Chains A and B, each alone.
Chain A
C-alpha cells in the first residue's frame, strides 16, 4: 500500500529530553513537510524539504530539527529547547512539481510526562 507512515502514534517526553518522530513515505514524493497542530487550531509549518539533503525552516522552527538523508524519510527531532512540545504532529508529502496537493500521515501525539 502506498502512503505516509508516522510513528509512534503516541510519544511521551520527559523534561530536558530530545525525542524523534518518524515519517516515512513510499509515494516517491520529492517534498516532505512537518506541521504542528494545537487543539482547536489549524496547522503550523515547522520545517519542509524539497529534495534530499536540503530543508528550510517554516513558521515555527525554533526548538525543532530535521534531516533528509533519504528521499523516503524525514524525521523530526523535538529538542529540549522546545518548551511547549505537547501537540499533535503531522507529516505530509507531495510530488515536487507544480501545485500538487500535500497528503498527510496519521500523526503523532506528543505529551510531556
Chain B
C-alpha cells in the first residue's frame, strides 16, 4: 500500500529542547493528521490539517500542511517529560482510508 516516510524514527533529547519531525510522500494528500501514542494506549489526535499551506498550533505543538500537499511537519517547543511517546503522521488520500507513517519515538532525558 501507500507509504508515508516519517523521520526521524527516534529522538533522544533533553527536557526543554525543541523537537521537529516530518512526513513526506510521493503522493498528494487531502488532509494531514498528527497523533501521539502512549505505551499500551490508542493514538490520540493532536492536530488536523485540511488545506495546503495551513499552519496550526495546539499549545506547544505546531504543525504545517506542505504547499505541495506531499509533506507535513510537527514541532514541539520546550519539551516536557509528558511529551514522551510515539508520534504518528497520517494522511487521507480518499475520504475513507488513512495512510500512516512508521512513527517517531520521542525520549526525553530529564
List the interface of chain A (C-beta within 8 A of B): 4, 6, 31, 40-43, 45, 48, 50, 58-59, 90, 92, 98-99, 101-107, 109
Pairs A–B under 8 Å by Cβ, sample size 9: A41-B102, A42-B101, A45-B1, A48-B97, A59-B1, A90-B43, A101-B31, A101-B45, A109-B40
Cβ-defined contact, B103 with A99, below 8 A: no
Assembly CA distance A98 to B31 (angstroms): 10
Per-position binary interface string of chain B over residues 57-92, scored 1 when its CB falls under 8 Å from any chain A CB and 0 otherwise: 000000000000000000000000000000010001
Q: What's the dominant secondary structure at chain B's contact region?
A: loop
Do the beta carbons of B103 and A42 come within 8 Å of each other? yes
The answer, among B44, B96, B100, for a CB contact under 8 Å with A42, is: B100
What's the tally of chain B residues with a CB closer than 8 Å to chain A? 24
